[in-house]
């Protein structure tokens, strides 16, 4: 299969590219920060440097792909940037998916749309409370993008899967809060979760495997909270995280 990864030059995108290429798929990366060097040495990887605001470029990049994954997001604190660039770019990508007859659209959202969780185990049925999130603007922008996915499914028939992420790590620790926890463990200090945070720790390998399995099973529109379908993966991820901490502290 051939996949378009919007925002594919970031940490999660690079990991997903490798995940798909290792399984024999073709990958097109579209990212304004992409480097041509990314595609050297692998004929199954095409790298396009460009912005989702460029409608003609997005349509061209989406032509002939089977699936599209949108990982692109600015993480800006400015409302104008979030809605003019992130949400509008997302809309361009959805329109290109329909025009190119893509079979599946996957959107990387966030569990922040739930705001401050009202129950201990968060499922897809939990109410949306973006105003109560640690980063309300980020949560609101992602929720708006989710709603666009639903509209494109209902009105255009685009099969769409939304994954609401919690905490993710790979061979490198990308999140500052998770890095701080690892550092505290190495130094024998108490482990503290960032104020207002919660959720699950899952490795990138497990995250993408579960995303692909979910997308392959579903034919309609389905938001998914990762805490509702990956409990076994969560247990495995905790074990891997513990192993990483043990390896880092072995010399201390």
Q: What is the mean pLDDT of residues 185-192?
A: 79
* Each residue's pLDDT tens digit, 84-132: 999 999 999 999 999 999 999 999 998 889 888 777 777 788 888 899 8
Structural domains in the chain plus CATH codes: 2-175+200-231 (3.40.50.720)
For residue 130, give both structure tokens. 């973006």
Q: What is the mean pLDDT of residues 58-80?
A: 95
Alpha-carbon distance of 8 to 27, in angstroms, equals 9
**CA distances for 158 relative to 33, 58, 151, angstroms:** 28, 17, 9
* Each residue's pLDDT tens digit, 11-30: 888 888 888 898 899 999 99
Q: Which residue has the higher pLDDT, 143 or 178?
A: 143
> Measuring CA to CA, which residue among 64, 2, 65, 74 is closest to residue 31?
74
Q: Evaluate the CA torsion angle 235, 240, 243, 245 in order and state its sign.
A: negative
Q: Which residue has the higher pLDDT, 56 or 236?
A: 56
Prediction pTM value: 0.76
Q: What is the pLDDT of residue 13?
A: 87
């Amino acid at each position: 299969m051939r996949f378009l990864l919007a925002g594919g030059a970031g940490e999660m995108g690079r990991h997903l590219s490798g995940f798909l290429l290792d399984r024999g798929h073709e990958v097109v990366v579209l990212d304004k920060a992409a480097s041509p060097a990314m595609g050297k040495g692998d004929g199954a990887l095409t790298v396009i440097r460009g912005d989702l605001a460029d409608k003609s470029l997005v349509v061209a990049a989406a032509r002939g792909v089977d699936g599209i994954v949108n990982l692109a997001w600015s993480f800006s604190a400015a409302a104008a940037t979030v809605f003019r660039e992130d949400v509008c770019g997302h809309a361009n990508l959805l329109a290109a998916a329909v025009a190119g007859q893509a079979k599946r659209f996957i959107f990387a959202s966030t569990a922040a749309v739930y705001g401050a969780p009202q129950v201990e185990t968060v499922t897809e049925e939990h109410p949306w409370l973006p105003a109560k999130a640690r980063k309300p603007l980020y949560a609101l922008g992602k929720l708006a993008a989710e709603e666009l996915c639903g509209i494109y499914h209902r009105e255009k028939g685009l099969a769409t899967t939304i994954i609401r992420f919690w905490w993710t790590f790979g061979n490198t620790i990308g999140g500052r809060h998770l890095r701080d926890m690892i550092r505290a463990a190495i130094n024998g200090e108490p482990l503290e979760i960032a104020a207002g945070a919660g959720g699950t720790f899952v490795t990138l390998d497990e995250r993408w495997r579960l995303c692909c399995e979910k997308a392959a099973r579903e034919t309609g529109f389905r938001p998914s909270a990762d805490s509702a379908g990956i409990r076994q993966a969560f247990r495995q991820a905790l074990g891997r995280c513990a192993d990483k901490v043990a390896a880092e502290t072995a010399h201390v």
